Amino acid sequence: MTNSINEIAQAQVILVSGSNTTEAHPQVARRMFDAIDRGAKLIVIDPRRTRLAEHAHIHLAIRPGSDIPLLNAMMRIILDENLADDLFIEMRTENYHALRDMLYQLDLDETAEITGVPLAKISAAAQLYARAQKAVVCYCLGVTQHICGTNNVQSIANLAMLTGHVEKEFTGVDPLRGQNNVQGACDMGALPGHFPSYQPVNTAEYRTKFEQAWGTELSGTPGLSLMEMTHSGPQGAIRGMLIMGENPMLSDPNLKKVEATLKNLDLLVVSDIFLTETAALADVVFPAASFAEKTGTFTNSERRVQMVRQVIPPLGSCRSDGEIIMALSQVMGYDMRYESMAEVMEEIALLAPIYGGMFHDRIEGCWGLQWPCWNRDHAGTSFLHKYYFTRGRGHFVPATHEAAAELPDADFPFILNTGRVYHQYHTGTMTRQSSSLNREASEALLEVNPQDAARLGLRTGDWVELSSRRGSATVKAHITEQVAKGSVYTSFHFPAVAINLLTSDARDPKAQCPEYKVSAVRLEKINP
C-alpha cells in the first residue's frame, strides 16, 4: 500500500476493485465504513454483489475479466469532461501521449458493452473519482489473478496518475496483500529475480555486494517462479523441492499437474506445523514452531514491520523455521549462525536499503516502523511517493482489452470465480483446526444465481457436480444474488472440495500470476 490503513478513513472517495474487503481485510473494511460515516463515497468494481458492494454508492458489476475496458472508459470520460490533472501530468509523468491517443480511439459504447455496465453508471463513477480531492483506490487479487493482471494493475495506476490521485496523504493506490507477511516475504527477496529490497540478481553491482557479504559466489540468472516449479510435470527440470509453510497441493491451480510434479520428485522436504496435503507427499517433514513459539517480525500491507514475540517454548521437539534453515546450512558446510533473530535483522538492515533502519530494539519500543526506513534516525514512511516516484517520473502504459484465456462455451457455460470467506484463511492449515471458526464456516459452498438455479432446478443445499476441462468436484449449492447470472463462486479453503482441481493454470506472462478468477465450468445436479 502507498498509504497507511488509517488514512483510508479520511478519504473522500474510495474506489475498491476486485477486493472482497469485508472478508479478506476486515480492518481495512472497517476504515472504509468509518469513511462512509464521515460522508465519503464508495465505488466498488466487482462482478459479485459482495457485502461491501451492498454499501457502495456505485457498484459496477462488470463481467469477469473486463477490468481494463472499464478503466479505459472511465479515463476517456475523465478526458471528455476535462477532469484530468494537467499540471500533475506535465510535472510528474511521462508517456501521457500514448495513453491519450489510445483513449481517443476508444468507442465508449462498445467498451461499455464489453463490461456489461451501463455507460451512465461508468460516467458517474469516473466523475465522482476524478472530482474528489482525496481519493483512494484499493485493489486485491480480483485484479491480479487474471491473464492480463499486470495490465490491470497498470490501468489502475494510469487512472490514478491521470487524475493526480497519488502521493498525497489520504490519496493513493493501495494493493491489499492477501496474507499476513506476503509483503515481508517479497521484501526479503523470496523472489526468483530479486535479492532483499528488490535488488535484481542480474545486476552485477548488487550481486557483488551480496557475494561479499555472504562470502560465496552467487548465480546471476533469475530463477523459476512458483508455477514454473510446481507445474513442471513429472519429467520437469526440478528434481527436489524444499517447501516451508506452504501448501501448493491445495492452493495452486490445476492440482493434478501439481500432484504429478510433486509425486515424481526425487526429494520433497516440507516444513510445517500440521501434516498438510503437501507434507503428506513428502520424503522428509520438519515440525515447525508456530508464531507463538518464536521471535521475529512481520510486515503488514501498509509496510509496517512489527514484532512477533515468543510466548511459549516450541511444542514437543518443534523448531522454528529459522533454526531449521541454520541447522541444514550447517550440515551442508555453510556456516550460518546467528545468536538471535535480532542479529539476522542487523544483517538485513545492512543489505536491504529499505530496511536500513529496522532493528529489533527500535521496533520493540513502538508500533513498528513503515519502510522505507533508511537508517537508525529515520522515522519510517507512512505514505509512499511523497516527493517523487520511486522510479523518477510516473510512466503511463496504455493497456487494451484482453479476453480471458478460457471463455464459457456450450460445453462449459459458466464462469467459475474463486476466493476467500471471512472465517477461514488461505488453505486453512491453521483455521480449519479452530473449532470456533469451523462452526461458522466448515464447508465450501457454491454460490449460484437464482435465475440459473431455477433453470437447473437447484435449491440451496443440493449437491452439484462441478466440472471443468481439468477436473471435477462435488459441492453444495447456495443460491444467492451475490453472483451474477452465468457465474458461480466458491472458496478454496477446504480439501473436501479441492476446487483447484478445476481452475485454469493459464497465467499472466509478466507476473506469473495464475488466472484463478476465470475458468469455464459446467454444473450438474446430483440426485442423492
Partner 1 sequence: MKDVLTTCVYCGCGCGVYLHEDQGRICGAFPSRNHPVSRNNLCVKGWNIHEFIHHPARLTEPLLRKAGHLTPVSWDEALTYTATRLTEIRDQTANQGLGVLSSAKCTNEENYLLQKFTRAVLKTNNIDQCARL
Helix (H, G, I), strand (E, B) or coil at 445: strand
Phi then psi for residue 474, to 5 deg, are -105, 130
Rounded-to-integer distance, Cα 38 and Cα 431, Å? 34
Q: Least CB distance from residue 1 to partner 1, whole Å?
A: 9
Helix (H, G, I), strand (E, B) or coil at 14: strand
Q: Which does 96 bind (CB under 5 to 8 A by kind): partner 1, ligand SF4, none?
A: none
Q: Least CB distance from residue 479 to ligand SF4, whole Å?
A: 29
Torsion sign across C-alpha atoms 104, 396, 147, 383 = negative
Q: Residue 26 or 461: which CB sits closer to ligand SF4?
A: 26
Applying CB under 8 A, which part among 111-119, 157-165, 182-190, 457-465 lies near partner 1?
A: 182-190
Residue 244: is it exposed, middle or buried by C-beta count within 10 angstroms (0-12/13-18/19+)?
A: middle
Q: Which does 462 bind (CB under 5 to 8 A by kind): partner 1, ligand SF4, none?
A: none
Q: Least CB distance from residue 177 to partner 1, whole Å?
A: 4
Interface size with partner 1, residues (CB under 8 A) = 137
Contact present, 177 and 304 (Cβ < 8 Å):
no
Q: Which does 129 bind (CB under 5 to 8 A by kind): partner 1, ligand SF4, none?
A: none
Order of strands across the sheet that contains 41-45: 58-60, 41-45, 13-17, 135-139, 172-175
10 binds partner 1 (CB under 8 A): no
282 binds partner 1 (CB under 8 A): yes
Rounded-to-integer distance, Cα 176 and Cα 326, Å? 32
218 binds partner 1 (CB under 8 A): yes
Q: Residue 58 or 326: which CB sits closer to partner 1?
A: 326
CA dihedral 270, 271, 276, 278 (to 10 degrees): -20
Q: Least CB distance from residue 30 to ligand SF4, whole Å?
A: 8
Q: Least CB distance from residue 14 to partner 1, whole Å?
A: 16
Q: Residue 112 or 324: which CB sits closer to partner 1?
A: 324
Contact present, 162 and 37 (Cβ < 8 Å):
no
Q: Which does 237 bind (CB under 5 to 8 A by kind): ligand SF4, partner 1, none?
A: partner 1
Tell me which residue has cell 523459476. 224
Q: Residue 61 or 328: which CB sits closer to partner 1?
A: 328
Q: Which does 6 bind (CB under 5 to 8 A by kind): partner 1, ligand SF4, none?
A: partner 1
Residue 436: CB atoms within 10 Å: 8
Q: Shortest Cβ contact with ligand SF4: which residue?
A: 26
Q: Residue 236 or 486: which CB sits closer to partner 1?
A: 236
Binding pattern for the stretch 347-386 against partner 1, x by CB under 8 A and - elsewhere: xx------------------xx------------------
Out of 328, 397, 456, 506, name the contact with partner 1 by CB under 8 A.
328
For the segment 409-428, give every residue that binds partner 1 (CB under 8 A): 422-423, 425-426
Torsion sign across C-alpha atoms 157, 159, 163, 168 = negative
Q: Which does 466 bind (CB under 5 to 8 A by kind): ligand SF4, partner 1, none?
A: none
CA dihedral 201, 202, 207, 210 (to 10 degrees): 0
Phi then psi for residue 357, to 5 deg, are -110, 15
198 binds partner 1 (CB under 8 A): no
Out of 120, 204, 312, 410, name the contact with partner 1 by CB under 8 A.
312
Contact residues for ligand SF4 (CB under 6 A)? 26-27
260 binds partner 1 (CB under 8 A): no
C-alpha cell at 435: 473449532
Rounded-to-integer distance, Cα 23 and Cα 51, Å? 9
Q: Residue 54 or 347: which CB sits closer to partner 1?
A: 347
Between strands 93-94 and 58-60, the pairing is unpaired
How far the first Cα of the chain sits from its last, in Å, is 48
C-alpha cell at 506: 493459464
177 binds partner 1 (CB under 8 A): yes
For the segment 20-39, give every residue that binds partner 1 (CB under 8 A): 24-28, 30
Binding pattern for the stretch 113-132 against partner 1, x by CB under 8 A and - elsewhere: --------------------
Contact present, 1 and 171 (Cβ < 8 Å):
no
Q: What single letter denotes the amino acid at residue 440?
A: E
DSSP secondary structure code for residue 527 in this structure? P
Q: Which does 311 bind (CB under 5 to 8 A by kind): partner 1, ligand SF4, none?
A: partner 1
- CA-derived radius of gyration, the chain: 24
